Amino acid sequence: MTALLHANVTHLQANANANGLDHVVVSTLEGRRILARARSYVLACGGIENPRLLLAARDVQKDGIGNDNDLVGRFFMEHQHGRAGRVHTDDPFRLWHLFRKRRIAGGPPVAPTLLPSPDLQQTASILNTALTFKLQRDPSQGLLLNDRIYRHLKHQLPPDRTRRRLWHAYRDARGWVQRNLKPKIERLRSGAGARHLYAMVRAEQAPNPNSRVTLSGERDRLGMLKASLRWQLSDIDKQTVSALAESLGEELTRLGAGRVEKADWLEDPSPEWPLDPTVSKHPIGGYHHMGTTRMGSTPRTGVVDADGRVHGYHNLYVAGSSVFPTGGWANPTLTILALVHRLAEHLDDRLRQTDP
Ligand SMILES: Cc1cc2nc3c(=O)[nH]c(=O)nc-3n(C[C@H](O)[C@H](O)[C@H](O)COP(=O)(O)OP(=O)(O)OC[C@H]3O[C@@H](n4cnc5c(N)ncnc54)[C@H](O)[C@@H]3O)c2cc1C
């Protein structure tokens, strides 16, 4: 097997019958260009690049590959993060502590979340979004200095080896403080009234055809048209958070444990989602790009079939969360890997059938 590094696929060349890929064009920033030919091709470039490459391949089919029904790039979904409301309770620390992230010996950190029951989802017509709790100072005061440093090191410095080391060192030190000192610090701060308790969501987004990746008019250094993203939410995305906040409030009141003051933005009827840097490490979404080459049993409902094969193309497959028809609220990587294993088995069978 040969792996090519720093090799960018810049064109997917369809065959003249528009039913298979003939080759891909690979370019480097130094100006090298090669054609790569294979029996099967798997496009696994992420939820924005996958549709970009399919849409940009317009020389044989004018709307791009797999796009006869104008589905490529549509239904872009994320896991939007937000504040459902403030929880008023006599002992904010206790509730936070019950739900806080814990490390199981030898295992990864885990944290409980609150989810709507299937009954609540059905009766309130809402999605399956997760609630957690966060103790923090009044969010209108903005980010704490240590969060600002963290974000700067992680997102604003160039990702070279030295600066990544610096970020890792800071992240590890911060992790140690959070594991060992945070509960004590938070107990003191919330006891002194300097911390409030908030209900936070990591939300499911309903598939929305108008939420989409298209090609912009600008070109990148390799001459490819850049992607343009119009991420659009729907009413149900916000209604879900509102219904969850109400349900949490009812339950806390029933238990005599407190009440919920819903976040102001939930009362605004537009589907706009606020950018709130104090919500989590990810101020608005989870960096989970999904849905732009969705799976469907027919070309009218999806770009790829159940095997991940682009409808109408015998040798072109797509892997990654771009094939998700819906996104749930949970992190996508395990589902991506499960689908990739299935695709690998499918390709293995196929190659055995064609190899003598
Ligand atoms: C900061 C951050 C934190 C995250 N945390 C989590 C988490 O905790 N749990 C979780 O489940 N998910 C997490 N995710 C999301 C997860 O990383 C993605 O959902 C997942 O990596 C998507 O997998 P993929 O293989 O489809 O695409 P990617 O992992 O994006 O891989 C695409 C690859 O294609 C390459 N590529 C792109 N274009 C081209 C081209 N034209 N030619 C050649 N190569 C190309 C890219 O360089 C990249 O290597 C996180 C994402 C980010 C950014």
DSSP letter for each residue of 15-79: -TTSSSEEEEEEE-TTS-EEEE--SSEEE-S-TTHHHHHHHH--SSSTT-TT-TTS-TT-S-B--
* Ligand 1 site, residue 332, Cβ cutoff 6 A: yes
> Above pLDDT 90, what percent of the chain?
78
Question: What is the Å distance from ligand 1's center to 130 Cα?
Answer: 23
Is 8 near ligand 1, meaning CB less than 6 Å away?
Answer: yes
Q: Is 328 left (phi over 0), alpha (psi -120 to 50) or beta?
A: left
Residue 282 banded pLDDT, cuts 50, 70, 90:
confident
Q: How far is the C-alpha of 349 from the C-alpha of 264, rounded, in Å? A: 55
Asked if residues 354 and 39 have their Cβ atoms less than 8 Å apart, the reply is yes
DSSP 36-50: E--SSEEE-S-TTHH
Q: Which atom of ligand 1 is nearest to the CA of 332?
A: 11
Q: What's the pLDDT at 301? A: 97
Q: What are φ and ψ of residue 262, in 5° steps?
A: -60, 145
pLDDT at 355 over 70: no
| Rounded Cα gap, residues 158 and 165, in angstroms | 12
> How many angstroms does the Cα of residue 47 sit away from the middle of ligand 1?
8
C-alpha 86 to ligand 1 mean position (Å): 33
pLDDT recorded at residue 356: 56
Q: Which amino acid is at 208?
A: N
pLDDT tens profile 107-146: 888 889 999 999 999 999 999 999 999 999 888 888 888 8
Residue nearest ligand 1's atom 3 by CA: 287
Q: pLDDT tens for residues 168-179?
A: 999 999 888 888
Chain length of the chain: 356
What are the boundaries of each domain within the chain? 8-76+289-354, 81-207+232-267
The mean pLDDT of the chain is 94
Nearest ligand 1 atom to the CA of 224 is 41
- Contact call for residues 262 and 84 (beta carbons, < 8 A): yes
- Structure pTM? 0.93
Residues 211-259 have pLDDT tens digits of 999 999 999 999 999 999 999 999 999 999 999 999 999 999 999 999 9
- Which residues are paired to 214 by β-bridges? 228
CATH architecture of the domain with range 8-76+289-354: 3-Layer(bba) Sandwich (3.50)
Closest CA to 19 of 249, 315, 254: 315
